[in-house]
Homo-oligomer: A and B are copies of this chain.
Amino acid sequence: MMSQDLKPITEIATQIGLSRSDIVQYGTFKAKIPLDIVYQQPRRAKLVLVTSINPTPAGEGKTTMSVGLSQALHRIGVNATAVLREPSMGPTFGMKGGATGGGASRVEPSTAINLHFTGDFHAITAAHNLLAALIDNELFHGSRLHLDPKRVLWKRVLDVNDRALRHIIVGLGGPGQGVVRETGFDITAASEVMAVLTLARDLPDLKTRLSKMVIASQGHDMITVADLGAEDALTAILDEAMMPNLVQTREQTPVIMHGGPFANIAHGCNSIVATEAGLRLSDVVITEAGFGADLGAEKFLDIKAPEANLAPDLAVVVVTLRALRYHGGQSLREINRPNLDALHSGMANLNKHLENLRRFGLPIVVAINQFPADTEEEIEWLLKELADHGVPAALADVFGQGGFGGERLAHLVMQQLDETSSHYAPLYEKTESLEQKIEKIVTSIYGGSGVDYAPAALKTLARLHTWGEDALRVCIAKTQYSLSDNPKLLGRPEGFRVTIRDIDIARGAGYIVPLAGDMIRMPGLPKDPAAYRVHVDDDGMVTGIE
Chain A at the B interface: SS class: mixed
Known contacts being A136-B162, A236-B545, is A170 close to B168, with CB within 8 Å?
yes
Residue of B nearest to A522 (CB): B177
Residues of B within 8 A of A159 (CB): 126
Tell me if B182 and A163 are in contact (CB < 8 A): no
A139 to B162, CA, bound (A): 12
Q: Is residue A143 contacting chain B, with contact meaning CB distance below 8 A?
A: yes
Let me know if B178 and A172 touch, CB within 8 A: no
- Tell me which residues across on chain B come within 8 A of A540, comparing CB atoms: 203, 239
Please report the C-alpha to C-alpha distance between residue A535 and residue B179 in the assembled complex, in whole angstroms.
29
Copies of the polypeptide in the assembly: 2
Whether the pair A240, B167 counts as a contact (CB closer than 8 A) is no
- In the complex, which of the residues A130, A132, A141, A184 has the most CB atoms of chain B within 10 Å of its own CB atom? A130
Instruction: Determine the distance from Cα of A129 to Cα of B112 in the docked complex, in whole angstroms.
Output: 19
For residue A235, CB closer than 8 A to chain B, the reply is: yes
For window 161-178 of chain A, which residues contact chain B by CB distance below 8 Å? Answer: 161-173, 176-178
A199 contacts partner chain B, Cβ-Cβ < 8 Å: no
A130-B26 CB under 8 A given contacts A167-B177, A534-B232: no
**Interface residue stretch chosen among A46-54, A116-124, A436-444, A473-481:** A116-124
Query: When the two chains form the complex, which single residue of B24, B166, B171, B529 contacts A178, counting CB atoms closer than 8 Å?
Result: B166
Q: Are B165 and A170 in contact (CB under 8 A)?
A: yes
Give the residue name and chain of the B residue nearest to A129 (CB): B160
Give complex CA distance A536, B481 in Å.
43
Q: In the complex, are the beta carbons of A130 and B203 less than 8 A apart? A: no
Mark out the residues of chain A between 491 and 546 whose CB falls within 8 Å of any chain B CB in the assembled complex: 524-525, 527-529, 531-532, 534-536, 538-540, 542, 544-545
Contact of A532 among B26, B119, B229 (CB under 8 A): B229
Contacts of A332 in B (CB 8 A): none
The chain B residue with its CB closest to the CB of A24 is: B27
- Contact with A130, one of B160, B171, B527 (Cβ below 8 angstroms): B160
**CB closest residue in chain B, given A531:** B233
A123 touching B116, Cβ below 8 Å: yes
A545 to B239 alpha-carbon distance, docked (Å): 13
Q: Give A169 to B165 CA distance when docked, in angstroms.
A: 9
Contact present for A122 and B126 (CB under 8 Å)? yes
Whether A203 lies near B167 (C-beta < 8 A) is no
Task: State the CA gap A62–B111 with chains docked (Å).
Answer: 39
Partner of A179, one of B133, B164, B167, B531: B164
B172 contacts A168, C-beta separation under 8 Å: yes
Q: Residue A115 at the B interface, CB < 8 A? A: yes
A25 at the interface (CB under 8 A from B): yes
B-contact 0/1 string along A123-161, CB 8 Å cutoff: 101100110111011011101000000000000001111
Q: Are B167 and A524 in contact (CB under 8 A)?
A: no
**Any B CB within 8 A of the CB of A207:** yes
Q: Given the known A-B contacts A26-B27, A172-B169, A233-B531, are A140 and B116 also in contact in the complex, defined by CB atoms under 8 Å?
A: no
Residue of B nearest to A170 (CB): B164
Residues of B within 8 A of A164 (CB): 133, 136, 139-140, 170-171, 177-179
| With contact pairs A122-B116, A133-B164, A203-B536 given, residues A233 and B93 touching in the complex (Cβ less than 8 Å) | yes
> Please, how many angstroms separate the alpha-carbon atoms of A160 and B204 in the complex?
25
For residue A237, CB closer than 8 A to chain B, the reply is yes
Does A394 lie at the interface of the complex (its beta carbon under 8 Å from any beta carbon of B)? Answer: no
In the complex, what residues of B have CB within 8 A of residue A162's CB?
Answer: 129, 132-133, 136-137
Q: Is A72 an interface residue, CB under 8 A from the partner?
A: no
Residues of B near A207 (CB, < 8 A) are 536
Give the CA-CA distance A130 to B164 in the complex, in Å: 12
**Which of B28, B119, B139, B230 is the one whose CB lies under 8 Å from A24?**
B28
Specify which of B93, B119, B134, B230 is in contact with A116 (CB 8 Å cutoff).
B119
Q: A116-B122, A137-B529, A229-B532 are in contact. Are A236 and B129 (CB under 8 A)?
A: no
A89 within 8 A of B: yes
- State whether A173 and B167 are in contact (beta carbons under 8 Å apart), knowing that A133-B161, A143-B527, A529-B137 are contacts in the complex: yes
Chain B residues near A141 (CB, 8 Å)? 527
Chain B residues with CB under 8 A of A89: 126
- From A165, A169, A204, A540, residue with most partner B Cβ within 10 Å: A540
Assembled-state Cα–Cα distance A32/B232 (Å) = 29
Contact (Cβ within 8 A) B160 A232: no
Q: In whole Å, how far is A215's beta carbon from the nearest beta carbon of chain B?
A: 14
Q: Which residue of B lies closest to A235 (CB)?
A: B536
CB distance from A305 to the nearest CB of B (A): 26
Question: Can you show 30 pairs from A to B with CB atoms below 8 A apart?
Answer: A25-B25, A25-B26, A26-B26, A93-B130, A115-B239, A116-B126, A116-B237, A126-B159, A132-B162, A133-B161, A133-B162, A133-B164, A134-B529, A139-B164, A140-B163, A141-B527, A163-B171, A163-B177, A166-B178, A167-B172, A167-B173, A168-B171, A169-B172, A172-B182, A203-B540, A230-B531, A232-B544, A233-B532, A236-B536, A236-B544
Q: Apart from A115-B237, A140-B524, A164-B170, what 15 extra A-B contacts exist at CB < 8 Å?
A: A24-B28, A27-B240, A116-B126, A122-B122, A129-B162, A132-B162, A134-B525, A136-B163, A140-B163, A166-B172, A166-B173, A168-B168, A178-B524, A203-B539, A203-B540
